[in-house]
Structure 1
Amino acid sequence: MKRNRVLYFFIIIGLIGIGLAARKWKIFLPDLINVYLGDAIWAAMIYFGIAFIFNRKSLSFIGVLSLTFCYCIEVSQFYHAPWIDAIRNTRIGALILGFAFLWSDILAYTLGIGFSFLGEYFFFKGKPKEVDAVA
């Protein structure tokens, strides 16, 4: 499968916008959704980012690499040195690295990547192996 990088770029930008909006307007969402939504959207953005970079790789490669990346970021939250905590204390550092390990984040990453994987699978199901691609 060859992915259209322009399409994936816009999906990533859209997910960033949706993720930031979900954080800003979280008071309008039920608590059960707020626990998982931001992290699931972040994981979906990682999935599509990896699909953008490795646009010729299989769905399973993208899924496994995305899960591995997200899980590694979460496990890295056990590490607290002054230099990395200084990065985490910035807005972008907090959004990317987080602060503390949570099992709910692992579940949210799994759900976000799972839905992204299934969405990509069903979108391309039955289509030719070569999809119109740019770059």
Structure 2
Amino acid sequence: MPDLFPARNRILYGLLTIITLITGYLSRRLFGDYAFIKLYVGDALWALMVFFGFAFLFRKRSTLVVAAIALGFAVSIEISQLYHAPWIDDLRKMPLIGLVLGFQFVWSDLICYSMGVAFGALAEICFIQPFKESRTAAKKQ
């Protein structure tokens, strides 16, 4: 039985994940004084990175499935920020864990996550898949 979705290139999605991570860091570092970037762009880029990361892991799943998993993960992390037991707040004080888990629930973050995941899914559908299909067609000729 043929795959319904051709396998993703793990090198490409690994690079996209790393590039998005670096872009998020640089956006905060270089343009963090701008409220819009500080409040929204970082969250959208984080969700985009999560999308590319799950696309890397689930390389044979459809774009819709990967987007649903990524959005579910992002929303779960945001909802977990409503929980403030001392042990988890102590974990959040560690820089890397704090970046992953976040610190406080913010409704606008859910919109940013939705936009980041949607951008990743659209990029895959509009750019990555057509490019891959054109290269495959060129090899067959």
Q: TM-score, normalised by structure 2?
A: 0.85
Q: Is the aligned partner of 1:74 residue 2:74?
A: no
SS in 1 for 2:104: coil
Deviations 1:32-81 (A, max 9, x none): 23321000010001000000000000001001111100000000000111
Work out which of the residue numbers 29, 52, 55 in structure 2 matches 1:24.
29
- Give the letter for the 1:64 counterpart: A
* Structure 2, gaps ≥5 residues long: 1-5, 137-141
Q: Which has the larger radius of gyration?
A: 2
Out of 62, 65, 76, the position equivalent to 2:66 is 62
Q: Among residues 2, 9, 15, which one is paired with 1:4 in the alignment?
A: 9
Distance 1:110 1:23 in 2: 20
Aligned length: 129
- Letter of the aligned partner of 2:84 in structure 1? H
Find the counterpart in structure 2 of residue 38 from structure 1. Answer: 42
Query: Any idea what SS the aligned residue of 1:71 has?
Result: helix
Instruction: Report the aligned-residue RMSD.
Output: 1.7
Q: Distance in 2 between matches of 1:103 and 1:125?
A: 35
Change (3 A) 1:14 1:86: same
Distance (Å, rounded) in 2 between the aligned partners of 1:126 and 1:13:
21
Question: For residues 115 and 101 of structure 1, do their structure 2 counterparts lie closer, same or farther at Cα, with a shift above 3 Å needed?
Answer: same
The separation in 1 between residues aligned to 2:37 and 2:92, in whole angstroms, is 24
Aligned AA (1:19): G
User: What percent of counterpart residues are identical?
Assistant: 40
Q: Secondary structure at the match of 1:125?
A: helix
For 1:5 and 1:19, how far apart are their aligned partners in 2? 21
1:93 and 2:81 are equivalent in the alignment: no
Q: Which one scores higher on RCO, CA 8 angstroms, separation ≥ 6?
A: 1
Name the SS for the 1:2 alignment partner. coil
